[in-house]
């Protein structure tokens, strides 16, 4: 009987040695464990046979079986670690990053040329002591026209043909309504600029676009004259453009200024480009906002930001600012 057990143990050990080398996954390992050590596995089955052995043989056979069981348990444990280590190594390899690969270049953007020009204009006037004000782009007929001395049927309305978006509401055609809003909310003296977007029903061409930007300036105080206006503009143009530019100051008409002027700029011998309308605030406007025209005078202008950028950078088509063409924008 003992011999039989001894032979069986040798067989099981031989089979174990044969199969244990081919295990690669945790599932395969579990199958082996069940086959050798599970409740109905080889070894427990052999332990059951032990009970039938005569007592004097049982101890020796038990020892033999126990050592086989321990051996297999130990090796199963070792195999488990080996398989886990292999899986871990594979995972690390799969997830590895190659830090020697060149990176993906993400270019750093620049500000849009219109933004750059606006910031430069703001800087110059802030240094002269002007505040930056703002107003809504959707404006009422009252602020955009009426309060600026442009009544309902005034022919000057043709010049500011607009986009109407409802009863008495329109996209503002200039930044001048901000003059009214500021004067109605502050007592003189007032010294503000207001940069902002404006809209007109213009057909796009090289110098017109239905969306564009202006900077409004307004200075109201006791004793201001046309000479102050002219000085401010000249000083601004000098700072903004530097040498190599010419300026032309000529008469114009606006219902909300009297007298009114327009300013043209050209680079070297290039074409003249109108950059702003300007003038002394009309007494009718002062009366509308509750200022006393006998007490204060003032002046205002509306400057086209696109025109300034075109002159500064030598751009001959305003539409380029609105096409989002990276090759154009990258140059600034
Ligand atoms: N608002 C005028 C325009 O858009 C410009 C202007 C502003 C003229 C202020 C005079 C005074 O044409």
Per-residue pLDDT of the chain (332 residues; tens, 9 = 90+): 788 888 999 999 999 999 988 899 999 999 999 999 999 999 999 888 888 888 888 888 889 899 999 999 999 999 999 999 999 999 999 998 888 888 888 888 889 999 999 999 999 999 999 999 999 999 999 999 999 999 988 888 888 878 999 889 999 999 999 999 999 999 999 999 999 999 999 899 998 999 999 999 999 999 999 999 999 999 999 999 999 999 999 999 999 999 999 999 999 888 999 999 999 999 999 999 999 999 999 999 999 999 999 999 999 999 999 999 999 999 99
Query: Considering only CA atoms, which of 169, 179, 219, 156 is closest in space to residue 199?
Result: 169
Residues with CB under 6 Å of ligand 1 are 174, 176, 254, 257, 260, 277-279, 300-302
Residues 6+ apart with CB under 8 A from 296: 188, 189, 220, 221, 222, 224, 286
Helices 26-37 and 42-50, packing angle to 10 deg: 10
Q: Relative to the CA of 302, which ligand 1 atom is closest?
A: 7
Nearest CA to ligand 1 atom 4: 174
- Other beta carbons less than 10 A from residue 37's beta carbon: 15
At 39, give phi and psi (nearest 5°).
-55, -35
Distance from the Cα of residue 166 to its chain's centroid:
32
Q: Relative to the CA of 198, which ligand 1 atom is closest?
A: 4
Compute CA distances 135 → 39, 120, 196, whole Å: 86, 20, 8
Distance CA 310, CA 308 (A): 5
Q: Is the pTM of this model over 0.85?
A: no
Tell me, in angstroms, the distance from the centre of ligand 1 to residue 303's CA.
Answer: 8
Q: What is the CATH number of domain 113-329?
A: 3.30.930.10
Query: Considering only CA atoms, which of 206, 239, 224 is closest in space to residue 312?
Result: 239
How is 45-75 classified by DSSP, letter by letter? HHHHHHTTS-HHHHHHHHHHHHHHHHHHHHH
Distance CA 216, CA 294 (A): 24
């Amino acid at each position: 009987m003992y011999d039989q057990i001894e032979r069986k143990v040798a067989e099981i050990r031989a089979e174990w040695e044969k199969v244990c080398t081919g295990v690669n996954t945790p599932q395969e390992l579990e199958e082996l464990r069940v086959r050798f050590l599970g409740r109905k596995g080889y070894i427990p089955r052999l332990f059951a046979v032990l009970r039938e052995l005569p007592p004097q043989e049982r101890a020796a056979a038990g020892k033999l079986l126990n050592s086989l069981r321990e051996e297999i348990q130990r090796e199963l444990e070792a195999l488990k670690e080996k398989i886990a280590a292999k899986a871990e190594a594979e995972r690390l390899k799969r997830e590895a990053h190659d830090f020697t690969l060149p990176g993906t270049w993400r270019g750093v953007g620049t500000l849009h040329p219109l933004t750059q020009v606006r910031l430069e204009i703001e800087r110059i006037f802030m240094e002269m002591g002007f505040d930056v004000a703002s107003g809504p782009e959707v404006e009422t007929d009252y602020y955009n026209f009426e309060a600026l001395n442009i009544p309902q049927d005034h022919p000057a309305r043709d010049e500011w043909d607009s986009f109407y978006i409802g009863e008495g509401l329109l996209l503002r055609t200039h930044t001048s309504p901000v003059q009214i809003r500021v004067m109605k909310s502050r007592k003189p003296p007032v010294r503000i600029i207001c940069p902002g977007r404006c809209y007109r029903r213009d057909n796009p061409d090289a110098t017109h676009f239905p969306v564009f930007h202006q900077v409004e300036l307004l200075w109201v105080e006791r004793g201001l004259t046309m000479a102050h206006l002219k000085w401010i503009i000249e000083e601004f143009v000098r700072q903004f453009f530097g040498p190599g530019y010419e300026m032309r100051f000529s008469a114009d008409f606006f219902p909300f200024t009297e007298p009114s002027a327009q300013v043209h700029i050209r680079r070297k011998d290039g074409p003249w480009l109108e950059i702003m309308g300007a003038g002394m605030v009309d007494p009718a406007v002062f009366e509308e906002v509750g200022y006393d025209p006998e007490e204060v005078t003032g002046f205002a202008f509306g400057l086209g930001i696109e025109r300034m950028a075109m002159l500064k950078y030598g751009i001959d088509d305003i539409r380029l600012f609105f096409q989002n063409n990276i090759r154009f924008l990258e140059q600034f």
